[in-house]
Amino acid sequence: MGGMEQQTWTATVVEHHRLRRDLAVVRLIGEPVPFRAGQYLDVTVPRHPRLPRRLSPALPPSLDGKMEFHVRAVPGGWVSGSIVADTVPGEQWRFSAPRGDLVVDETGPTVVMVAGGTGLAPLRSLILDLTQVENPPQVYLFVGGRTIQDLYASDMLWILRQQLPWLTVIPVVEDVTDPGGPDEWYDRIVAHVGPVTFHEDDLLEGTLAEVVAAHGAFVDHQVLVCGSPAMVRSTRDQLVATGTPSDAIRFDPIG
């Protein structure tokens, strides 16, 4: 078939941190990719050159080509499972097709962000992008998981919350009494640095959809939702049902 060949960029893996049995953070340095904070890219890794995966950078664009991705292994997912378990420094990743419309109007009203699992990545990118703005809007970040163990970025969010007076982080778990299943990677982190999670008093209990909708209606807000397709659909439906205008909600299912 004819047509223009799709432009691609390459970067080299410099760090691979396994945070959970099914989750890793991968950092790379390479050619600057012209994406916007909040967008996602088609990512091709060397073990699966014909199976691009859609991943959202967790850092805004940088002139020095630094990139970070939060990857969860989905059941039956060859590529995501391979990225989590097998990635090593020195690998070359290829990127193409920046797209997606998760954006924040930096002069607009209060922002409500809803992150399920690694849906946190593009929202964190947007938050870091807002640190370059003189007077950013207030941001309320609801971040959720099934158990406390699922809140994989608690330490990073804790630091951001201390540094950014306009950011409020609201951690949500479906069951505060459930510690999660055995996970050698999580246990290893706890053994080295202690529990890296929010205090139980900080946690709200319930599904993200229930908890966020209970704080609405968000009539004059920018609302961004990112997570699994089921989580995004449920959250959007419950927000609209409790009075948030559907055209105020931007969403991006992942996985």
pLDDT digits (tens, 9 = 90+) for 45-77: 999 999 999 999 999 999 999 999 999 998 888
CA distance 56 to 67: 10
- Mean pLDDT for 27-37 is 96
- Mean pLDDT for 218-225 is 96
User: Which pLDDT band, with edges at 50, 70 and 90, does 4 fall under?
Assistant: low
Classify burial at 68, counting beta carbons within 10 Å of its beta carbon; exposed 0-12, middle 13-18, buried 19 or more: middle
Cis amide prior to 217 (ω within 30 degrees): yes
Domain locations in the chain as residue ranges: 8-99, 111-253
- The three-class DSSP label of residue 25 is strand
- The three-class DSSP label of residue 54 is strand
For the structural domain made of 8-99, what CATH number should be given? 2.40.30.10
Report pLDDT for 5.
64
Report pLDDT for 1.
45
pLDDT above 70: residue 255: no
CA distance 253 to 255: 7
For the structural domain made of 111-253, what CATH number should be given? 3.40.50.80
Report pLDDT for 75.
82
User: Which pLDDT band, with edges at 50, 70 and 90, does 20 fall under?
Assistant: very high
CA distance 150 to 154: 9
Is pTM beyond 0.95? Reply is: no
Q: What is the DSSP string of 111-155?
A: EEEEEEGGGHHHHHHHHHHHTTSSSPPPEEEEEEESSGGG-TTHH
pLDDT above 70: residue 2: no
Least confident of 83-97, 112-126, 170-184: 170-184
> Phi/psi zone of residue 229: left (φ > 0), alpha (ψ -120 to 50 degrees), beta?
alpha
